[in-house]
């Protein structure tokens, strides 16, 4: 099993997509990339913790590779919007890939470059590629949020698929 940690706007939206992906065995919403220990949703929403709303995936690379995970990532959000996805704005919604190995870093850089030169976007990709730090799971009510609250929130990601 491998781990991928990604930020691409609201974690509920990414969670919903990756929950359906072959080879992904678990998806957990949380926070990463900031300076505040043990952040909570309220603090992260203030925008001054440095944390990103992320999903952390455990996946079987024999079924879906890290490259496959990243191809989906770039297809389901706008990696050219600095600190914004849909109606969500602030640094906690920035596009980010947190790698756990040099191999993941190289793959992330290659996939980002491919998408940046694909012609799909009119602006350059702003996705940051950073070494993974401590993952802080989000509060229980954020886990599987869209499953627990059907019809209560419309994700930009799910509208655009």
* Residue numbers annotated as active site: 10
Alpha-carbon gap, residue 53 to 1, rounded angstroms:
23
pLDDT at res. 156: 58
CATH code assigned at 139? 3.30.1060.10
Q: Please provide the DSSP assignment of 29-41 as one string.
A: EEEESSSSSS--H
CA 139 to each of CA 28, 61, 124: distance values in angstroms, whole numbers, following the listed order: 10, 28, 33
pTM: 0.94
Q: pLDDT in tens for each of the 161 residues of the chain?
A: 999 999 999 899 899 999 999 999 999 999 999 999 999 999 999 999 999 999 999 999 999 999 999 999 999 999 998 898 878 899 999 999 999 999 999 999 999 999 999 999 999 999 999 999 999 999 999 999 988 988 777 775 554 44
Domain that holds residue 117: 2-160
In total, how many domains does the chain have? 1
């Amino acid at each position: 099993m491998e781990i991928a940690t990604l930020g691409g706007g609201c974690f509920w939206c990414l969670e919903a997509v990756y929950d359906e992906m072959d080879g992904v065995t678990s998806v957990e919403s949380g926070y990463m990339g900031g300076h505040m220990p043990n952040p909570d949703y309220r603090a992260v929403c203030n925008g001054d913790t440095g944390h990103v709303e992320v999903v952390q995936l455990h996946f079987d690379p024999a079924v879906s590779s890290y490259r496959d995970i990243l191809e989906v990532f770039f297809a389901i959000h706008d990696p050219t919007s600095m600190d914004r996805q849909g109606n969500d704005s602030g640094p906690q919604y920035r596009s980010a890939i947190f790698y756990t190995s040099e191999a993941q870093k190289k793959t992330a850089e290659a996939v980002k470059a491919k998408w940046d030169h694909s012609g799909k976007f009119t602006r350059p990709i702003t996705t940051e590629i950073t070494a993974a730090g401590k993952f802080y799971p989000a509060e229980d009510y954020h886990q599987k949020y869209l499953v627990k609250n059907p019809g209560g929130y419309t994700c930009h990601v799910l509208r655009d698929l």
